[in-house]
Amino acid sequence: MKVALENLTSYDGRRIRGIVGWVFRELDCHELRCTVRIKQTAQTRYSYKGRYYSGSGIIICTLGNAPFPHVHDRSLRGGPPPIVVESWEEALIAITAHEVMHLRQHRIGSMRNVRFSEVEAEWAEFRLLNRWRGKRSIGKRQISNDSQGGDYEQ
C-alpha cells in the first residue's frame, strides 16, 4: 500500500492500519498514493465525517463523539438503503470507503472525464460495510431490510 497513514487518535494504530489497508485493497486502490489522516474530535454533533482534498491527495477521516449506533440515510438521493454504523471501526470503514472512492474517481476516473459522484461513494460505503460484517461478523443488525442480501450495484 502506498498510503501514508497519520493516526491522531487514541485508537490502536495497528487496528486503524488494518482497516484502512483493507478498504484500499477492497476498492482496488492499493497502488494509489495518498495520505490518510485519522482525527478524533470531542464534538457530539456527528459520529464521523470525511473529506478528500484532490489538490494534495489528502484524505481526512474524523471520528466524532456522538454515540453509536448511528443511522446514515442517503436513500432519497438515489443512494443505498439506510445503513446503521455500530462502532468507531465501522465508522472508519464508511468514511475511508467514501473518501477513497473520491480518490479513485479523481485519479482513475479523471482520465476518462468522469466527474465525482457522491452516490457512487455512498454505495462504496454500503458495499464495504456489508463485506466487513460478512467477513468479520461485526455487528448484529442488518445494514438493510433487503431480502436478497449480498452486494448492491448502482
Count of domains for the chain: 1
- Rounded CA separation 55/61 (Å): 17
C-alpha distances (whole Å) from 47 to each of 90, 131, 152 are 11, 21, 24
Mean pLDDT, residues 76-103: 90
Helices 118-136 and 13-26, packing angle to 10 deg: 120
Given this model, what pLDDT does residue 20 score?
Answer: 94
Given this model, what pLDDT does residue 88 score?
Answer: 92
Amino acid identity at 93: I
Given this model, what pLDDT does residue 106 score?
Answer: 83
- List pLDDT tens digits, range 10-50: 999 999 999 999 999 999 887 888 899 999 988 767 788 99
Whether residue 123 contacts residue 72, with contact meaning beta carbons closer than 8 Å, is answered with no
- List pLDDT tens digits, range 68-87: 888 888 777 778 888 899 99
| Within-domain flag for 152 | no
How large a percentage of the chain has pLDDT more than 90? 42
Which range in 6-15, 47-56, 143-152 is most confidently predicted, on average pLDDT? 6-15
Where residue 62 sits, what CATH number does that domain have?
A: 3.30.2010
| Within-domain flag for 67 | yes
Tell me which residue range forms the domain holding 123. 3-136
Amino acid identity at 22: W
| Within-domain flag for 153 | no
- Rounded CA separation 154/8 (Å): 34
Given this model, what pLDDT does residue 115 score?
Answer: 59
pTM: 0.80
Contacts of 85 (CB under 8 A, 6+ apart): 47, 48, 68, 69, 70, 71, 72, 91, 94, 129
- List pLDDT tens digits, range 109-140: 655 555 568 888 999 999 999 999 987 654 44
Given this model, what pLDDT does residue 55 score?
Answer: 81
